[in-house]
Amino acid sequence: DGGITQSPKYLFRKEGQNVTLSCEQNLNHDAMYWYRQDPGQGLRLIYYSQIVNDFQKGDIAEGYSVSREKKESFPLTVTSAQKNPTAFYLCASSIFGGNEQFFGPGTRLTVL
Amino acid sequence: GENVEQHPSTLSVQEGDSAVIKCTYSDSASNYFPWYKQELGKRPQLIIDIRSNVGEKKDQRIAVTLNKTAKHFSLHITETQPEDSAVYFCAAGTPNTGNQFYFGTGTSLTVIP
């Protein structure tokens, strides 16, 4: 279903801990994206990367960090600086300049 | 940046009736307008899209219209079926320049059998 995977499906974290969400794609897409989904707020962009070793902040980047060392991988770290990290996180990919974004199955993060 | 507003937030229709979801955008540079469907517990998937040089596009029971002057676009679903029940998101952007999409807040559609 799209060749983009996210792990884990569910993640629990204690306050004050950093946690890394995995996103891998085998679609040979150049661009990758991280979104946060909260009830009633749609999809909000955290970070995106159009090419390896380069990425840009989205609208809600504070408290998050990313890396893009490989074309296939775009991990997201939720740091302790993120004040309200409990949410559903979606990763997506597309060809550079392409229209359709293909989404992963998502990771639901809960901070205890 | 772009601001996309979507209405209504929830919509219930009887099976067989039509459903219409509306979105407005603020940036006149936006030239691509996709619609995504997200079924419960699943990932969003593209169902239809339209470019700014086209006023209407149809795919079976689904159609999208775009009014560039008024900066609004709409999703029309005819002859609704229970499997159409899902959350629908509109978006706007300029993907050909490598820029991000901006998504609306979503519409939860329920089709009552």
Asked whether the beta carbons of residue A96 and residue B103 sit closer than 8 angstroms, the reply is no
Assess B44–A contact: CB distance below 8 Å, yes or no.
Answer: yes
- Radius of gyration in angstroms for the set of CA atoms belonging to chain A, rounded to a whole number: 13
Q: How far is CA A10 from CA A39, A54, A103, B11, B79, in A?
A: 17, 28, 17, 29, 37
Token pair recorded at residue A78: 């939720």
Q: Which of A31, A42, A105 sits opposite B43 (nearest CB)?
A: A105
Residue type, B29: A
Average the pLDDT over each of A57-61, A94-98, B2-6, B31-35 and give the range with the smallest value. Answer: A94-98
Q: Residue A97 above 80 pLDDT?
A: no
Contacts of A30 in chain B (CB under 8 A): none
User: Above 90 in pLDDT, residue B86?
Assistant: yes
DSSP code, position A70: B
Q: How confident is residue A40, by pLDDT bands cut at 50, 70 and 90?
A: confident
Distance from CA of A105 to the nearest CA of B (A): 5
Which of A9, A22, A4, A21 minimizes the C-alpha distance to A106? A9
Q: Is residue A2 scored above 70 in pLDDT?
A: no
Q: Chain A contact for B53, CB < 8 A?
A: no
- In this predicted model, what pLDDT tens digit does every residue of A61-90 receive, in sequence order? 999 999 999 999 999 999 988 889 999 999
Grouping H, G, I as helix, E, B as strand and the rest as coil, residue B84 is helix
Work out whether the CA dihedral A8, A34, B41, A39 comes out positive or negative: positive
Q: Is A37 exposed, middle or buried (0-12, 13-18, 19+ CB in 10 A)?
A: buried
Q: Is the confidence at residue A98, as pLDDT, over 90?
A: no
Contact (Cβ atoms closer than 8 angstroms) between residue B92 and residue B6: no
Q: What percent of chain A has pLDDT over 70?
A: 98
Distance, in Å, from the CA atom of B67 to the CA atom of B69, rounded to the nearest integer, reads 6
At B59-73, the pLDDT tens digits run 999 999 999 999 999
Partner residue opposite B98 with nearest CB, options A41, A97, A100? A97
